[in-house]
Amino acid sequence: MSWMQKLYRTYEFVQNQGLDDEELALPFHLSKAVHLKIVLNDKAELVRAERFEGKKQVPIQITEKSSKRSGSTIAAYALHDGLQYIAKTAKRYLTIEYLSKIAEKTNGKKWKEFLAGTDEEKQKFADAEKAKYQSCFEFYEKQLSDWAEFSHLQEINIVLRYIQKGSLIEDLIEKKYFSFEDNILLSVKDDPFGLTIVWAVEIPNDPHSDLWSKGNIKKQWIKYQENQSEQGNKNKALCYVTGEEDYPVEAYPKIDGNAKLVSANDDTGFTFRGRFYGDKDNGAKSELGSQAVTLGRDVSQKAFNILKWLIKRQGISNGDQKTVVWAISGKEVPSPMKDSFGVIDWDNLDTSAVESETEIDMSFEEKTSSKDWSSNVGKSAAEIIKKKLHGYKAELEEHEQISLLMVDKSTDGRMALTYYQEFLPADYFDNLDAWVDDFAWYQRRSIEKKNGKKPTNKPFGRYCRLRLLTSATPFTERH
């Protein structure tokens, strides 16, 4: 479990540094792509709506259950969510015409069956979807109401009053953000029910209206979730990462898409249980996962949030495989999977690392992007690259630990830890030197043309490094 402990400690360090980064989610928060902002006034009236251009990621409040929400699961986010949760009248707009339009665009089994069904079967399907949407809203309203009562936050009460009116979709139609034509609810270019909607509340003498960025709302949500755990039926247990008592977690956050790195929700269909006990025949829950290891809620939230943040911030992707290297201190560390030539500014070279002036090709003096490294089999390039890499090393203390972690998706819902190792800076950079000396070479991807399109930056060398790292003696000491 050392990798989880390292991630947890990294989160604690970053948090103590006061790093203001919305993409690093707090406990019970999730960084999510959002599409539309609803602006209310202090009278709980819709003032306007604003569509986000491009990809907008904001931290939203979640519960342990909604952190793994997928498919038909009903689990509302705390505040910002989709129309099916926040719009009281959403079910009215699930018309046969709308559902038929969605079915034509979606290549799923249930939608194919819907299109092939009779009118009676289609209506039955629509009624079932409407009942589900009604349950979604009731879940959201109850959860928001309980939070408003606990927190006494003015902004949350305003949002609650507005959604209870049940006029969100109608207000958006009236203000021309949505349209309802031919019995189909339409947005500008998106499916209205596919939008994630966030709230803003304009209050006199308060310059900050975006609710996702307000620190007091974030803190109150965390306090509310902690209170829910204390009021619930859960008992604290030993967390195997911190060695302290904490509420055990049952639902683990997603890392990439719907893929989770840790999951323990299987309790049937086992051929051999080994040391695990539990009798499903008499209705007793076996809780097999907790018999193997227990993770505390705090560790689970922080470790997986920092992992997602590190992957997005400094990770390298190779298909479904993600590689990330970091030091707890936050100082920059070069990844062994990164294209070595990519770390050098070839038009502004520092050639002081090269032993002989004659080794420097004359083309260095020209401001061109194509250098001839063949004259000395890349020795000059290797020395320059190593000097660049050792520039990173100089920033690290001798005792600082560097962590190298690789994960890979096996299915859309499962992710595995395929490699993890910790290094001291001296060992890590010795291995990088060995890579540059013994394995790296300059690869010309294509003949570049003036004013032409640059080649795709996917060097074959990355695959070779992958093989080196995941071999029987990965990234070992050079002899």
85-94 pLDDT tens trace = 999 999 999 9
pLDDT reading at 60 higher than 90: yes
Looking at every residue in the chain, the average pLDDT score rounds to 79
Residues 221 and 323 in one domain: no
Is 131 within the bounds of a domain?
Answer: yes
Quick: pLDDT tens for 326-351.
888 767 776 766 665 555 555 555 54
Whether the predicted pLDDT of 465 surpasses 50: no
Let me know whether 80 and 207 are in one domain.
Answer: yes
96 and 220 in a common domain: yes
pLDDT of 353 > 90? The answer is: no
In terms of domains, do 7 and 128 share one?
Answer: yes
Final residue before a domain boundary, out of 186, 212, 230: 230
Q: Which phi and psi angles does 291 have, rounded to 5°?
A: -75, -20
Q: 232-269: per-residue pLDDT in tens?
A: 767 888 888 889 999 888 778 788 877 888 876 666 66
Q: Are residues 193 and 340 in the same domain?
A: no
The pLDDT of residue 412: 82
Tell whether the model's pLDDT for residue 381 goes beyond 90.
no
pLDDT exceeds 90 at position 121: yes
pLDDT tens figures, 124-182:
999 999 999 999 999 999 999 999 999 999 999 999 999 999 999 999 999 999 999 99
Residue 258 lies in a domain: no
At 337 the pLDDT is 65
Contacts of 389 (CB under 8 A, 6+ apart): 334, 343, 429, 432, 433, 436
Any domain includes 264: no
What is the per-residue pLDDT for 445? 54
Boundary (domain end) residue, out of 197, 230, 263: 230
Q: In this model, does residue 399 exceed pLDDT 90? A: no
Q: Are 314 and 289 spatial neighbours (Cβ–Cβ below 8 Å)?
A: no
How sure is the predictor about 451, in pLDDT bands with cuts at 50, 70 and 90?
A: low
Cβ–Cβ < 8 Å for 350, 391: no
User: Has residue 281 been placed in a domain?
Assistant: no
354 pLDDT exceeds 50? no
Q: Looking at 181, 213, 230, which one is the last position of a domain?
A: 230
pLDDT band per the 50, 70, 90 thresholds, residue 49: very high
Residue 89 and residue 187 share a domain: yes
pLDDT given at position 434:
81
Nearest of 287, 333, 286, 297 to residue 314 by alpha carbon: 333
Q: What confidence score (pLDDT) does residue 448 get?
A: 59
The answer on 428 and 330 residing in a single domain is yes
Q: Does a structural domain hold residue 181?
A: yes
What is the spatial distance between Cα 51 and Cα 43, in angstroms, rounded to a whole number?
A: 22
- For the cut 50, the answer to whether the pLDDT of residue 463 exceeds it is no
Claim to verify: residue 87 and residue 210 sit in the same structural domain: yes
Would the pLDDT of 410 be above 80?
yes
In a domain, 205, yes or no: yes
Looking at residue 396, its pLDDT comes to 74
* Domain span at 183: 2-230
Least confident of 65-79, 96-110, 116-130, 334-348: 334-348
- Please indicate, yes or no, if residue 335 is contained in any of the structural domains: yes
What pLDDT is attached to residue 186? 93
- The residue among 447 and 137 whose pLDDT is bigger is 137
| Claim to verify: residue 211 and residue 322 sit in the same structural domain | no
Lowest mean pLDDT among 69-78, 259-268, 348-357, 439-448: 348-357
Predicted confidence at residue 436, as pLDDT, reads: 73
* Report for 22-26, 251-255, 386-390, 402-406: range of highest mean pLDDT: 402-406
The answer on pLDDT for 19 being more than 50 is yes
pLDDT at 1 > cutoff 80: no
Instruction: Give the per-residue pLDDT at 375.
Output: 45
Give percent of the chain above pLDDT 70. 71
> Which pLDDT band holds residue 360 (cuts at 50, 70, 90)?
very low
pLDDT score of 367: 40
Domain count for the chain, please give it.
Answer: 2
Instruction: Quote the CA–CA distance of 337 and 439 in Å, as a whole number.
Output: 13
Per-residue pLDDT band for 455 (boundaries 50, 70, 90) equals low
224 and 322 housed in the same domain: no
Same domain, 84 and 184: yes
**pLDDT, tens only, 275-318:** 666 554 433 344 555 667 888 888 988 999 999 999 988 888 88
Whether residue 257 is contained in a domain is answered as no
Higher local confidence (pLDDT), 69 or 458:
69
If asked whether residues 211 and 344 sit together in one domain, one would say no
**pLDDT the model gives residue 215:** 92
